[in-house]
Amino acid sequence: MAVPKKKTSKSKKNMRRSHLALGSNACIECPKCGELVRPHHVCEACGTYNKKEIIVKEKNAE
């Protein structure tokens, strides 16, 4: 069984794991309302996807 001869330093360990960092989420602008939306998801603000109204949102008149 392979056993390391010396302890791996924090620097070496962190350099090896440098590519595992999380990236930022992609966001696009909704063509109807201008809200930031994740790609290929229904817009939470207006309920549209691919220029079609998927979720009917009622506007409150106050």
pLDDT, one tens digit per residue, over 19-46 is 888 888 899 999 889 999 999 999 988 8
What pLDDT, on the 0 to 100 scale, is given for residue 57? 75
Tell me: pLDDT of 61 over 70.
Answer: no
Query: What integer is the mean pLDDT of 47-51?
Result: 88
Q: How many whole angstroms separate alpha carbon 45 and alpha carbon 42?
A: 9
Q: How many whole angstroms separate alpha carbon 33 and alpha carbon 20?
A: 35
Query: 27: Cβ–Cβ under 8 A, 6 or more apart, which residues?
Result: 36, 37, 38, 39
Domain coordinates of the chain in residue numbers? 27-62
Q: How many whole angstroms separate alpha carbon 28 and alpha carbon 42?
A: 12
Tokens of residue 55, six digits: 């979720």
